[in-house]
């Protein structure tokens, strides 16, 4: 065990965190919308010193064979070395793929987008919604920052017009908001020796034994749960984390609505 991890463990044993926060206390969250003029929707989210930008682009495409009347959602995350020395240039790696999947699952399972309203011609033409996630600075808990940025960008998005006669998408001629039904919010927890802490910073992420991201919907129901690392946790600690995620989810939704 590294000296830093021993230091973190000793603090946890005393009921303390390195930055003085309580175990159930998030860092300050800042949300800004419409930060990318070329995108149909965009948002910048800061959680402490962790910063992420998400952009939404839309285009016309072909539906999947098993959902011919529904639009398509694609989430992509690109980690640049500019955000952290831990990130490397090249094709997507495991951490960026995991982040994209967690964000995608939260949005998809909550049915946030009314995909049937994105159908233009059954089996032939549907709107495709692309969410691109780019970390700007990594100081821990990219999952929450990315998830909040993605759903905020979706809520700020405007659908471009489609000219059926010319079979052409008219970008820049906003017509109506993207059909959004829900606002799923991810809240991530780290576990050390049975203790639960929300919103781990980078030093804490390196020390935790396991990590769980709980995504809740507007009504408080859980829409997705993702575990990382092989460590174990108790049912009681999971229940504690769930209660915290519901509470913080409500607070974060207020911040998002204020930014829109």
- Res 106: pLDDT: 95
Q: What are the pLDDT tens digits along the chain (260 aa)? A: 566 677 677 777 777 788 889 999 999 999 999 999 999 999 999 999 999 999 999 999 999 999 999 999 999 998 887 878 777 666 567 788 999 999 999 999 999 999 999 999 999 999 999 999 999 999 999 999 999 999 999 999 999 999 888 899 998 876 789 999 899 999 999 998 778 999 999 999 988 889 999 999 999 999 999 998 888 888 899 999 999 999 999 999 999 999 99
Q: What are the domain boundaries of the chain?
A: 10-259
- Res 111: pLDDT: 94
- Res 229: pLDDT: 82
- Res 219: pLDDT: 94
The DSSP annotation for the chain comes to --HHHHHHHHHHHTT--TTS--TT-PPPEEEEE---TTSSEEEEEEETTEEEEEEEEEEEEPPPTT-TTS-EEEEEE---TTT-TT--SSS--HHHHHHHHHHHHHHHHTT-B-GGGGEEETTTEEEEEEEEEEEEE-SS-HHHHHHHHHHHHHHH-EEEEEETTTTEEEEEEEEEE--B----EEEEEEEETTEEEES--HHHHHH-SEEEEEEE-TTS-EEEEEEESS----HHHHHHHHHHHHHHHHHHHHHHHHH-
10-259: CATH topology: Ribosomal Protein S5; domain 2 (3.30.230)
- Res 186: pLDDT: 98
């Amino acid at each position: 065990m590294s000296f830093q991890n021993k230091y973190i463990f000793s603090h946890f044993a005393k009921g303390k965190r390195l930055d003085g926060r309580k175990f159930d206390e998030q860092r300050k969250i800042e949300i800004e919308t419409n930060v990318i003029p070329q995108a149909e929707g965009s948002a910048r989210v800061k959680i402490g010193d962790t910063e992420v930008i998400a952009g939404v682009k839309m285009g016309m495409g072909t539906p999947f064979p098993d959902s011919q009347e529904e639009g398509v959602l694609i989430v992509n995350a690109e980690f640049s070395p500019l955000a952290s020395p831990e990130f490397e240039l090249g094709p997507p790696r495991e951490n960026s793929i995991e982040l994209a999947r967690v964000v995608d699952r939260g949005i998809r399972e909550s049915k946030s987008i009314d995909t049937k309203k994105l159908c233009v011609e059954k089996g032939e033409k549907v709107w495709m919604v692309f969410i691109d996630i780019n970390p700007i600075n990594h100081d821990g808990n990219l999952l929450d920052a990315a998830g909040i940025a993605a759903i905020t960008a979706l809520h700020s998005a405007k659908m471009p017009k489609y000219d059926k006669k010319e079979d052409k998408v008219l970008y820049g001629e906003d017509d109506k908001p993207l059909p959004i039904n829900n606002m799923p919010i991810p809240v991530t927890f780290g576990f050390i020796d049975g203790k639960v802490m929300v919103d781990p910073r980078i030093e804490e992420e390196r020390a935790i034994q396991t990590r769980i991201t709980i995504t809740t919907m507007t009504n408080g129901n859980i829409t997705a749960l993702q575990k990382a690392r092989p460590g174990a946790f108790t049912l009681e600690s999971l229940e504690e984390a769930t209660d915290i995620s519901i509470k913080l989810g409500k607070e974060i939704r207020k911040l998002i609505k204020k930014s829109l």
